[in-house]
């Protein structure tokens, strides 16, 4: 698996802080906060792998992974899969423990909730065989190992318990007495000695999760006093409101299918219908009603030959076996809250909730199931913008977005582009994500072969050498412990190296020579591939046939330094090349105003007749911006105008700062005579005034040579305090700019 940039950074941070805490007194806490869909379990798996591999860690380590509900089972399956080849750590349930203790580099998985039931759970309850948790911990410590406790989804474990359960949970942690506790959650409850945090924006940059979740699209939603009132919850929809909600959800599903087809993707988007968690006649009637609506109105049922409906309820599992597969034929899944925790189905993109649900609070447990992107390995969002969002339809009124959901992530204000809009096809750009900063790309192989030639590696190595001298310390005695201070103890007994030991030594050699690059498996394999290519091209030795011979030759005492020298030279060249590429922007030939935009509660609606987006929602960053928008909306030469955003390919940007950085110009204006105006209300005292102004003027000049009709620039008002003066824009070279003077600025006549 290829780790994302934010994942690598978080793992490094976790590793550094965990090592620091392990060197302090026992009982320290490390909090790992990462949003739903960011890959918390994978990050933890790689972090633990690096922790036990780290040569600075002198202690022997054992691990306990505790999680609520059945999440520990899913976590164990994921980690088993992650360690399948390396076998770095062993994953076990309580009954799997050998010698009734947790071995070195072994993770014991159990259900956090059930272990709290002291005296009744077999893991905790004392027995004659002395095979219960406290005895297992005692034996583990007798082996000289430190215990690290990982509490997964700690907000569920600690935050959703009553006082009695909380007390039991705290008691369990007290009983375990871990050297280090790591709390893992999207919304941690307890404070730690250190915290590692992954931001939602970083996860979105890697297109791992949806840009946002849209609530009741095409219906009027009003945000007042912290609550969302929705048109779908009004009396006019009271009759057959469940059918209306289902109809809207399935209509959106059809739209998504068409867009996936345009993208050439076989994703079959899934609609989730969440029923109330309560058990009673009213809830049973709702379930029956929903099943009937789906069958009678939309031809979706569990019947053989149809199989478009899956049901996942307590004691009732129908058609759910392959529902997580992206190409599954199931179109709708009917379920209750019980499956929420840890369930992963990235093709789930639309959710329907009914007012009988009884909870107006949308928490991360509610909305998290439709946050993930179905093809995260793409590394970018779809060009069909509708696919980059999740959709919620509900007739619940007075909805509250819980604080555990990132601010603004649930968008309930939807704005659409005017129907009379004609494409303007502007050349645009956005920042490229540079994974090469932390990991090695295939370019490294090519560079290694070039450096090997320049270094004359073929001539310098001894192809007959095979000596790997690994010594261990045997029977070392010291009369006085004080003489050990500052002394170096050298191994005195040679051992024979073969098979798996040879593989480990080679892995260590490569990892040890990877700095400053991140030692993820992909980069390690890139270095190995470079070396194998060298042997294949220069010495006609194929690694698939002569792997052991090649590795012994590399690890030979005299040869290894030559390989290190070539690797060092290659890394320097590679870094120099990456620095050159860092300024690269991704270019878009034909940018147009987005068809749909969604906004959260921090935006307000304004009546702007000439705005191209209807309704017009805005969050002004300055009084200058607001005054300029008011100016554009007055009757005159303007046909329409667009208030631009400042992220990714969705919004318009021009390159500046030697074509290294995108400048998101605030306003794109279409005039009745066909000209396009690009204006950015920008305070003249800001340090980036000159570079942005020059970048924008160069862009306008270059595009006009190609036949465009563009004009504009940085715009301001001569009354920079009250904005009651003349509106002027700057088109000169920034060297001619003089603060407070507007003689060489052009008047903006609208």
Q: What is the DSSP string of 377-410?
A: GG-S--SSGGGGEEEEEE---SBEE-TTSPTT-E
- b/e sequence 22-44, b meaning 16+ C-beta within 10 Å: beeeeebbbbbbbbbbbbbbbbb
| Model pLDDT, residue 491 | 40
Question: Could you give the CA distance from residue 441 to residue 102 in angstroms, rounded to a whole number?
Answer: 39
CATH number for the domain whose boundaries are 5-203: 3.40.50.300
Question: Could you give the CA distance from residue 335 to residue 289 in angstroms, rounded to a whole number?
Answer: 14
Question: Could you give the CA distance from residue 246 to residue 422 in angstroms, rounded to a whole number?
Answer: 34
Question: Could you give the CA distance from residue 575 to residue 564 in angstroms, rounded to a whole number?
Answer: 16
| Model pLDDT, residue 494 | 41
On whether the pTM is more than 0.95, the answer is no
What does the block give as tokens for 11? 């793992």
Residue of 449, 436, 443, 448 whose CA lies nearest to 579: 436
Residue of 248, 343, 255 whose CA lies nearest to 297: 248
Question: Could you give the CA distance from residue 666 to residue 689 in angstroms, rounded to a whole number?
Answer: 14
Helices 557-581 & 443-455 angle (0-180, nearest 10) = 130
**Mind listing the pLDDT tens digit for each residue in 299-317?**
999 998 999 999 988 778 8
Do you know the residue count of the chain? 750
| Model pLDDT, residue 171 | 64
| Model pLDDT, residue 329 | 94
C-alpha distances in angstroms, 609 versus 287, 633, 637, 643? 45, 6, 13, 13
All CATH 3.40.50.300 domain ranges in the chain, comma separated = 5-203
The list of the chain residues with pLDDT below 70 reads 1, 113-122, 154-172, 189-190, 235-239, 278, 337-342, 356-359, 433-439, 466-500, 518, 520, 579-584
Q: Cis omega (within 30 of 0) on the bond before 472?
A: no
| Model pLDDT, residue 411 | 86
**Mind listing the pLDDT tens digit for each residue in 432-450?**
765 555 667 778 888 999 9
Q: What is the DSSP string of 147-216?
A: EEEEEETHHHHHHTS-HHHHHHHHHHHHHH--SEEEEEESS--S--SEEEE--HHHHHHTT-B-SEEEES
Residues 6+ apart with CB under 8 A from 370: 210, 213, 272, 348, 349, 350, 351, 390, 391, 392
Residue of 343, 372, 402 whose CA lies nearest to 159: 402
What dihedral do alpha carbons 595, 395, 341, 113 form, nearest 10°? Answer: 150
3-state secondary structure of 69: coil
Q: What is the DSSP string of 496-523?
A: ---THHHHHHHHHHHHHT-TTS---HHH
Residue of 203, 344, 210, 223 whose CA lies nearest to 272: 344
* Cβ-contact 444, 513 below 8 angstroms: no
Question: Could you give the CA distance from residue 403 to residue 488 in angstroms, rounded to a whole number?
Answer: 55
The dihedral of CA 299, 304, 308, 311: what is its sign? positive
Question: Could you give the CA distance from residue 289 to residue 291 in angstroms, rounded to a whole number?
Answer: 6
Q: Which residues pair with 618 in a beta bridge?
A: 604
Residue of 246, 355, 258, 260 whose CA lies nearest to 309: 246
What does the block give as tokens for 701? 């000049």
Q: Cis omega (within 30 of 0) on the bond before 615?
A: yes
Question: Could you give the CA distance from residue 714 to residue 700 in angstroms, rounded to a whole number?
Answer: 12
Specify the pairing of strand 613-614 against strand 145-152. unpaired
Q: What is the CA radius of gyration of the chain?
A: 31
Q: What is the DSSP string of 453-472?
A: HHHTHHHHS-TT-----EEE
3-state secondary structure of 590: strand
Residues 6+ apart with CB under 8 A from 663: 653, 654, 655, 656, 680, 692, 695, 696
Please report how many Cα atoms fall inside a 13 Å half-sphere around the Cα of residue 133, on the Cβ side: 28
Question: Could you give the CA distance from residue 216 to residue 245 in angstroms, rounded to a whole number?
Answer: 9
Q: Which residues pair with 682 in a beta bridge?
A: none
Burial, 148: exposed, middle or buried (Cβ in 10 Å; 0-12, 13-18, 19+)?
buried
Question: Could you give the CA distance from residue 624 to residue 721 in angstroms, rounded to a whole number?
Answer: 9
Cα 80-83-89 angle, rounded to 5 deg: 90
Residue of 300, 296, 254, 255 whose CA lies nearest to 273: 300
Q: Which helix (H) or strand (E) holds 132?
A: none
3-state secondary structure of 238: coil
Q: What are phi and psi of 505, to 5 degrees?
A: -65, -40
Question: Could you give the CA distance from residue 63 to residue 72 in angstroms, rounded to a whole number?
Answer: 13
Region for 304 from its dihedrals, namely left if φ exceeds 0, alpha if ψ lies in -120 to 50, beta otherwise: beta
Question: Could you give the CA distance from residue 270 to residue 332 in angstroms, rounded to a whole number?
Answer: 6
CATH number for the domain whose boundaries are 207-411: 3.40.50
| Model pLDDT, residue 418 | 94
Question: Could you give the CA distance from residue 410 to residue 408 in angstroms, rounded to a whole number?
Answer: 6
Question: Could you give the CA distance from residue 223 to residue 229 in angstroms, rounded to a whole number?
Answer: 6
Question: Could you give the CA distance from residue 161 to residue 175 in angstroms, rounded to a whole number?
Answer: 19
* Cβ-contact 614, 418 below 8 angstroms: yes
Residues 6+ apart with CB under 8 A from 586: 429, 430, 431, 432, 649
């Amino acid at each position: 698996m290829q780790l994302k940039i934010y994942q690598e950074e978080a793992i490094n941070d976790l590793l550094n802080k965990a090592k620091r805490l392990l060197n302090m007194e026992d009982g320290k806490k490390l909090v790992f906060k990462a949003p739903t869909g960011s890959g918390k379990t994978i990050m933890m798996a790689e972090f633990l792998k690096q922790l036990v591999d780290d040569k600075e860690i002198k202690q022997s380590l054992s691990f306990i992974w505790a999680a609520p509900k059945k999440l520990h089972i899913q976590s164990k399956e994921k980690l088993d899969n992650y360690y399948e080849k390396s076998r770095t750590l062993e994953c076990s349930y309580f009954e799997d423990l050998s010698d009734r203790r947790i071995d070195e580099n072994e993770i014991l998985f159990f259900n956090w909730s059930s272990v709290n039931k002291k005296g009744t759970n077999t893991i905790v309850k004392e027995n004659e065989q002395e095979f219960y948790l406290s005895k297992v911990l005692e034996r583990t410590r007798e082996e000289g190992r430190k215990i690290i406790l990982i509490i997964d989804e700690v907000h569920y474990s600690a935050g959703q318990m009553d006082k009695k359960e909380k007390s039991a949970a705290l008691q369990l942690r007290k009983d375990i007495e871990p050297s280090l506790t790591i709390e893992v959650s999207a919304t941690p409850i307890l404070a730690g000695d250190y915290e590692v945090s992954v931001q939602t924006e970083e996860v979105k940059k890697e297109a791992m999760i949806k840009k946002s979740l849209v609530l009741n699209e095409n219906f009027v939603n009003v945000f007042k006093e912290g609550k969302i009132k929705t048109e779908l919850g009004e009396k006019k929809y009271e009759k057959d409101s469940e059918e209306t909600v289902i109809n809207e959800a399935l209509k959106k599903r059809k739209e998504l299918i068409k867009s996936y087809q345009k993208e050439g993707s076989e994703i079959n988007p899934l609609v989730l219908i969440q029923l109330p968690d309560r058990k009673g006649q009213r809830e049973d009637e709702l379930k029956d009603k929903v099943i009937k609506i789906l069958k009678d109105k939309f031809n979706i049922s569990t019947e053989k030959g149809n199989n478009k409906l899956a049901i996942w309820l307590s004691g009732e599992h129908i058609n759910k076996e392959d529902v997580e597969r992206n190409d599954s034929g199931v179109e709708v899944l009917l379920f209750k809250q019980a499956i929420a925790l840890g369930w992963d189905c990235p093709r789930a993109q639309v959710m329907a909730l009914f007012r009988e649900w009884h909870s107006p609070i949308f928490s991360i447990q509610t909305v998290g199931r439709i946050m993930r992107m179905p093809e995260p390995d793409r590394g970018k969002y779809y060009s069909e913008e509708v696919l980059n969002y999740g959709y919620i339809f509900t007739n619940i009124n007075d909805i509250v977005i819980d604080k555990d959901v990132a601010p603004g992530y649930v968008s309930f204000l939807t704005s659409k582009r005017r129907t009379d809009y004609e494409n303007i096809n502007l050349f645009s750009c956005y920042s490229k994500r540079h994974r090469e900063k932390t990991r090695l790309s295939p370019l490294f192989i090519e560079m290694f072969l070039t450096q090997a030639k320049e270094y004359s590696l073929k001539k310098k190595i001894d192809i007959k050498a095979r000596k790997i001298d690994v010594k261990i310390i045997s029977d070392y005695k010291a009369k006085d412990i004080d003489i050990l201070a500052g002394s170096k103890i050298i191994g005195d007994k040679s051992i024979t190296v073969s098979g798996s030991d040879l593989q480990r030594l080679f892995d260590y050699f490569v990892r040890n020579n990877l700095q400053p690059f991140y030692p993820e498996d992909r980069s390690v394999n890139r270095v190995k591939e470079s070396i194998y290519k060298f042997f294949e091209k220069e010495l006609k030795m194929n690694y698939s046939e002569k792997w052991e011979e090649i590795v012994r030759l590399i690890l030979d005492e005299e040869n290894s330094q030559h390989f290190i020298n070539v690797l060092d030279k290659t890394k320097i060249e590679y870094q120099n090349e990456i620095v050159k590429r860092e300024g690269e922007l991704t270019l878009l030939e034909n940018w147009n105003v987005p068809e749909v935009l969604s906004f959260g509660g921090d935006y307000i609606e304004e009546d702007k007749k000439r705005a191209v987006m209807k309704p017009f929602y805005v969050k002004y960053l300055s009084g200058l911006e607001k005054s300029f928008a008011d100016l554009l909306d007055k009757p005159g030469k303007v046909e329409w105008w667009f208030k631009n955003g400042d992220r990714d390919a969705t919004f318009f940007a021009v390159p500046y700062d030697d074509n290294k950085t995108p400048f998101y110009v605030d306003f794109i204006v279409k005039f009745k005579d066909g000209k396009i105006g690009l204006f950015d209300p920008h305070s003249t005292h800001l340090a980036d005034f000159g570079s942005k102004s020059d970048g924008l003027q160069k862009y306008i000049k270059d595009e006009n040579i190609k036949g465009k009709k563009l004009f504009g620039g940085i715009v301001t008002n001569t009354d920079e305090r009250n904005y009651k003066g003349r509106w002027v824009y700057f088109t000169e070279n920034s060297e001619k700019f003089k603060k407070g003077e507007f003689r060489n600025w052009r008047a903006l006549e609208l």
